[in-house]
């Protein structure tokens, strides 16, 4: 089975945001090495590792174009070239302060307000590379359709292979897999001080497109390329 590719935003690996997110999830997505996770009061390390297992596989990131396979007419070099061209047409977006929020049954960092230019940038990542994408496999579509989708989300799934794009897009950097409401509140409280400090000391800017690759089904996604935005 062919590899899957994703276009994400992830902070520079030398930044304090990356250090926070990578250690929170317990993985360096550049070289797939384990990192020590913080200790949370009242949450045993094994349980903390468990609730972060799902996002750990993907790395600390915000999705811009969800995982997809390349069509038979294109290869990774085509994607790399097109990604570089796309990045040159896009300008960085200041994300403003982030906060932890429960999105359905998981916790993520989201902007407190809608950043100017973000929706247009995300839409360009979806549409600007979509001709390289192979149609989703039937099992993938069935999994997506098993979630509650409204009519527009179903339409977007059929168009782009992912339902949460265009006006349905919401930038988020995932911190947990499925958790119950009390645990979601505990996680949000646990990260609040660090996130407030980072918002003040190192305001986050979406300044790059990051290429992540899942080489084999179920393998961890690896961050293989960052392209700085150049417009």
Helix or strand (DSSP H, E) at 146: helix 138-146
Query: What 3-state class would DSSP assign to 128?
Result: coil
pLDDT tens track for 50-106: 999 999 999 999 999 999 999 999 999 999 999 999 999 999 999 999 999 999 999
- pLDDT the model gives residue 202: 98
pLDDT tens track for 164-203: 999 999 999 999 999 999 999 999 999 999 999 999 999 9
Helix or strand (DSSP H, E) at 107: strand 106-111
In the CATH hierarchy, which top-level class contains the domain 4-228?
alpha beta
Q: Is the pLDDT confidence value at 9 over 80?
A: yes
Describe the crossing of helices 181-201 and 16-25 by its angle, rounded to 10 degrees.
160
> How buried is residue 37: exposed, middle or buried, by Cβ count under 10 Å (0-12/13-18/19+)?
middle
Structure tokens at 4: 């899957």
Instruction: Please choose, from the candidates 159, 117, 122, 167, the residue with its C-alpha nearest in 3D space to the C-alpha of residue 141.
Output: 159
């Amino acid at each position: 089975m062919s590899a899957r590719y994703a276009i994400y935003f992830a902070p520079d690996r030398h930044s304090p945001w990356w250090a926070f997110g990578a250690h929170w999830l317990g993985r360096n997505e550049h070289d797939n090495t384990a990192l020590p996770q913080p200790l949370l009061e009242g949450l045993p390390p094994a349980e903390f590792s468990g609730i972060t297992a799902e996002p750990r596989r993907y790395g600390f990131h915000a999705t811009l174009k969800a995982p997809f396979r390349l069509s038979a007419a294109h290869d990774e070099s085509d994607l790399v070239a097109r990604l570089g061209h796309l990045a040159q047409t896009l300008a960085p977006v200041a994300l403003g302060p982030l906060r932890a929020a429960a999105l359905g049954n998981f916790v993520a960092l989201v902007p407190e307000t809608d950043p100017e230019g973000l929706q247009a940038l995300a839409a360009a990542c979806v549409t600007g590379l979509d001709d390289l994408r192979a149609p989703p496999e039937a099992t993938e579509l069935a999994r997506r359709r098993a979630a509650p989708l409204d009519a527009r989300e179903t339409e977007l799934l059929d168009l782009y292979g992912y339902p949460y794009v265009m006006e349905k897009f919401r930038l988020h950097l995932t911190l947990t897999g499925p958790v119950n409401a009390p645990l979601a509140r505990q996680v949000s409280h646990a990260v609040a001080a660090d996130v407030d400090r980072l918002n003040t000391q190192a305001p986050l800017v979406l300044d790059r497109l990051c290429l992540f690759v899942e080489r084999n089904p179920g393998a961890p996604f690896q961050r293989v390329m960052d392209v700085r935005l150049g417009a």
